Structures are given as C-alpha cells and as structure tokens.
Structure 1
Amino acid sequence: METNNTTTLSMNDTFNDRIKLPFSFETAKMLEEAKALQLDNFEYYDVIPLRSPAHLVDTSLPFPPPADDYADGSWTDWLDTLALKKSPYLTNVVNFFKENTTVTLVRLLRLAPHSTVKEHTDPTLGLEIEKSVIRLTIPILNNENVTFYLNNTPVIMATGECWYMRLTDPHKVINDGDEERINLTIDMIPNDWIRQIIKDSKHS
C-alpha cells in the first residue's frame, strides 16, 4: 500500500483510515444478482437501492416526522426493497449484518468506465462521529484500472472482501478501465459488535 503521497496524516492514521474486516463473500453470486438488477445503459454513476427508508419502499406509509439529527439512522424505519427481495444471496449478505446490528441504507453503486467520483467527504460516515452511521464496502466488480483513493492513498480492495473506511476523510474513485465498477455498500448504526470487530481487525 502506497503512503508516500499522504501529507495530512501520520503513518498510523493512514492505516487506521481503512480496515479490512474478517468477512468474505462469494463474488460470482453477488455479481450474477447485481447484473440481473441492472438497466442496460447508464451515464457516469448508477445507484440501485437494496434497503431504504420505509416510506420510500412502501408508499402507503407516512413520511417520518422531522428529526433534529438525520445523521443517526434511527430517524426512520428501514425496509428491504423489491430489488433485494429478488436477490437471495445479497439478502443473505445483508441479513448477516442485520442479525448483529441495525442496518440502514444498502445500495449497489455502479461507476461507469472512464468515469470519476470527485474527491469529497461524508461527514456522518465515521466511528468518531457522535450519532452517526458507518459504511462497509464490499467490491463486486473491479478491474486493475479502478482506484479508490482515501486521504490521497489508494485502498487496495479485492472483490468479495469487506472494508470499513473512514469516509469523513477525503476520498475519490477513478475508473480508467473499460468495464464498470460495482460495489455493495452497507450502512449500519455502530454497536459494540461491529466496533469490536473493527478494533480487532485494526490490530490483526
């Protein structure tokens, strides 16, 4: 992992901003189901919701009342979408985490060939933030010309792996390849279970 381009963080902080967790999932099954959900064409970026706020999944439900702090996923109920219900293996992946913590937003994120997600931060996606959610990333389709930069340093993620990244820090994605990139992202309200796994994985 390259670190010499990082100027704002210490060496220890650089490694703590991305942590590979001790979970792995079957790429072929995830990819088959992801492909079955896709539209044929999209420009730049495409999001397929697999778990969303309840009122967006079931339009008969009322909108949730205004919340003082939308950073905490407890501001609404969350439901599996029809797309997830059509996808048995992806359902199993999501259910693994639902059995251990409160899962909020789940999405398939597609980045088109020769496209870039510009550098940005997600202010509510970090363990260090009070009343936040955290995001786990599972790459499904990748190529050698896709680079995810976190704090100006590439995060080398293999398909099927599961990663926690401190997305409150600057990050961007560059896909210089000829094939789209697909990631599964799972947001959750952090509890003792996932905090301990992240802590143990940091030192493994």
Structure 2
Amino acid sequence: MIRFAQLPLTADITSIQQEVQQLTHTWIPHLNTYHYTGNWNVTSLRSPGGITDNSVPDIMQDNQQYNDTPLMAQCPGIKAFTASLQCDIMSVRLLNLQSGAVIKPHRDFELCFEKGEARLHVPVFTNAQVRFLCEDDLVPMQEGQCWYLNANITHSVANHGVTDRIHLVIDCVVNDWVKALFARSDKNEAPDLQDVATKLAMIAALKTHNTDTAKAMIASLEAQLQAQ
C-alpha cells in the first residue's frame, strides 16, 4: 500500500502562483466543517457539472459529468499541467488552509491508488510551519512539487505559519500511465493490514486441506506476505 509519494512531475509554479493571485472569485468554505478549525476554503476549477460553487468533488447527480468551471479559463498554467496528465481527470480544486487553521485527523474512505483513484497535491503557496501528517509521518511538500497522498488512511494538516497554504488538488483515475508514473516515484509504503489479515485467514483455511493444490496456494500466499 502506497501511503504517500513524490511524483516525477513539476509544475510551472511561477505562472500558477500568478494565476491564483489574480483569480476573480470569492473562496467558499469547505463543506466538511466538522473536520477543521479556522478557515479552510475552496475554489473549484473542475467539478461535477462544471459548477464553480460545487466544493464537493464526489457527489454526482444523475447524468452529470466532470467539466471545467468558468474559472479554469483564467488559469492556463493549471490547465496545461492537468492536460499533461495522461489519465481521466475528475475534480480540480484550489484548497486554501489559512494561517492558524487546522484540519483534524480524518480519512476520505476508498480514495486511494489501490482503489483506482489518486489524489494529487501541488503546493502553490506554503510555508515552513505547515505540518501535513500522513498518520504520524510528516510529508515535506514544497512549492511546485507534485505529491500523491493516500486519503484512505488517517491524515491531518496544521498551518502554524503567518501565510496561507494553498494547494492545487487533482483527483484522477488510475490507468496504465498513472501506474508507470507511480513506479518511478519516491514512495513511502506500508503493508495493507486488511490484505495481510485476509491472506493469513486463507492460509489457515487451506491448511485444513492436505492436497498438492492447497500446498501450492499456501506457498504462493506466504511468498506474497514476505514480499509485503
């Protein structure tokens, strides 16, 4: 299981920073107010139905599709970066965690590479006092880099700095190109505990069958566990 990874991608951060500063749009508060304190705001550049004020990327109405919002036209640098990703793009948002704000530990269930979706972060503006934790590990994201974060495991963020932290956040569909990209990335990995438990249960069940097939399957499962 990939917990987080720095991907071999870089964005034209100078152009993107200028675009974000010049956006003619009012930020809207993030919907999940239970998960944060302080100010955490959203600007949608691609959303279900292409609706600018839709801050929830995964709530789709019947027959809705992901489309660029009118604000994407003001961000050619961001548009160029998303176009360089050779996969289906779902949502594209700017998330602004203002000075002093804290996102509490939480999970976004099923949102991870292993489940077929990847959430990418490109820090547009950040500071040395931002602490992004994936479980207990600090993820040292810098402006212009591109990172994958496994949102299906517990993560939290605190902005202890005096400036706002703004990330470009892209949700995309995992395909062969994404898999190849991740294969070249600097990954932090850990065993999938649920998968380990499943394999151990299968081994225990197979041991009740004294057959060559069962023994071969046990050997295969044990080899997979050792590889993890």
TM above 0.5: yes
Q: CA RMSD in A?
A: 2.2
Aligned residue number for residue 84 of structure 1: 72
Aligned residue number for residue 162 of structure 2: 178
More helix by share: 2
Aligned residue number for residue 142 of structure 1: 126
- CA deviations 1:152-171 (Å, max 9, x no partner) are 11000111000112111100
Query: Which one has more relative contact order, counting CA pairs under 8 Å at least 6 apart?
Result: 1
Deviation at 1:117, TM superposition (A): 0.6
Deviation at 1:25, TM superposition (A): 1.1
Q: Is 1:163 paired with 2:147?
A: yes
User: May I ask how many residue pairs the two structures share in their alignment?
Assistant: 171
Aligned residue number for residue 103 of structure 2: 117
Percent pairwise identity: 27
Q: Is the 8 A contact 1:109 1:183 kept in 2?
A: yes
Q: TM-score, normalised by structure 1?
A: 0.77
Q: TM-score, normalised by structure 2?
A: 0.69
Q: Is the alpha carbon distance of 1:199 and 1:76 closer, same or farther for their aligned partners in structure 2, counting shifts above 3 Å?
A: farther
2:27 & 2:122 partners in 1: Cα distance?
22
Q: Which moved more, 1:30-39 or 1:112-121?
A: 30-39
Aligned residue number for residue 128 of structure 1: 114
Aligned residue number for residue 71 of structure 1: none
1:113 & 1:47 partners in 2: Cα distance?
15
1:160 & 1:108 partners in 2: Cα distance?
14
SS at match of 1:164: strand
Aligned residue number for residue 219 of structure 2: none
Aligned residue number for residue 15 of structure 2: 29
- Give the letter aligned to residue 189 of structure 1: V
- Give the letter aligned to residue 192 of structure 1: D
Aligned residue number for residue 201 of structure 2: none
What runs of 5+ residues in structure 1 fail to find an aligned partner?
1-12, 58-62, 66-74
Larger Rg: 2
SS at match of 2:185: helix
Q: Which moved more, 1:88-97 or 1:35-44?
A: 35-44
